[in-house]
């Protein structure tokens, strides 16, 4: 697996753009609570420092940002979608509803969406929002992977206990999870994921 090229494609800020933006590539989307590490994860798996903009403060990504990633060996291109985070209390109710509506429309209207990743800080139990998203993905027939972020923050005992606790909450198989940390490499992720979207 070798990355040949990665680039920012386009921001989606309005629902009408979603269906109009045609793409022949398999698409992978990253959902999750604000500040969980979605944009950081996009940078890690593209081996870029700031392809997606990250921040120590929640509420950074406020649109759906599409990126293109082209691999050499195998010759394949994928589109990555970095979603705005949910659950950020400092946004107005109206803004939260707008972003939620935009995100749900995206899930419904992208024909090439092959995989939806729910990012969950490994130290936080899955809450109503994450489980409702998991249910919606099942309903829509979307393939789902849970990425447990910030594993570098755990001590040894948490490292063995917390993945099991999260798997129980989501009621998913061990293979439906991916453990990530601040240093996750493209190889670690793509070895598991490329065969699913090729």
Ligand X SMILES: Nc1nc2c(ncn2[C@@H]2O[C@H](COP(=O)(O)OP(=O)(O)OP(=O)(O)O)[C@@H](O)[C@H]2O)c(=O)[nH]1
* 107: its two tokens: 């899930």
> Is 61 an interacting residue with respect to Mg ion (CB under 5 A)?
yes
Q: Does 38 bind ligand X (CB under 6 A)?
A: yes
> Does 186 engage in binding with ligand X (CB under 6 A)?
no
CB of 90 to ligand X, least distance (A): 11
Asked if 61 is part of the footprint of ligand X (rule: CB under 6 A), the reply reads: yes
Contacted entry of ligand X, Mg ion, none for residue 59, CB cut-off 5 to 8 Å set by kind:
ligand X
Q: Is 184 in the site for Mg ion (CB under 5 A)?
A: no
**Does residue 88 contact residue 60 with C-beta atoms inside 8 Å?**
no
Q: How many residues bind ligand X (CB under 6 A)?
A: 24
Q: How far apart are CA 103 and CA 85, in angstroms?
A: 10
Does residue 181 touch ligand X according to CB under 6 A?
A: yes
Q: Which residues bind ligand X (CB under 6 A)?
A: 32, 34-40, 54-56, 58-61, 84-85, 149-150, 152-153, 180-182
Q: Which residues bind Mg ion (CB under 5 A)?
A: 38-39, 60-61
């Amino acid at each position: 697996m070798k990355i040949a090229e990665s680039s920012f494609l386009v921001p989606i800020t309005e629902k009408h753009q979603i269906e109009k933006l045609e793409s022949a590539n398999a698409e992978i989307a990253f959902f999750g609570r604000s500040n969980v590490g979605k944009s950081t994860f996009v940078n890690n798996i593209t081996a870029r420092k700031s392809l997606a903009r990250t921040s120590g403060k929640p509420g950074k990504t406020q649109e759906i940002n599409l990126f293109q990633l082209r691999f050499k060996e195998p010759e394949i291109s994928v589109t990555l979608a970095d979603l705005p985070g949910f659950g950020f209390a400092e946004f107005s109710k109206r803004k939260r509803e707008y972003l939620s509506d935009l995100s749900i429309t995206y899930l419904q209207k992208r024909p090439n969406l092959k995989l939806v990743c729910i990012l969950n800080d490994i130290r936080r139990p899955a809450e109503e929002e994450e489980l409702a998203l998991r249910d919606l993905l099942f309903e829509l027939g979307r393939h789902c992977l849970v990425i447990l972020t910030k594993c570098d923050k755990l001590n040894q005992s948490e490292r063995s206990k917390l993945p099991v606790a999260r798997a129980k909450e989501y009621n998913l198989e061990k293979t439906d999870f991916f453990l990530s940390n601040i240093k996750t490499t493209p190889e670690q992720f793509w070895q598991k994921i490329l065969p699913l979207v090729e």
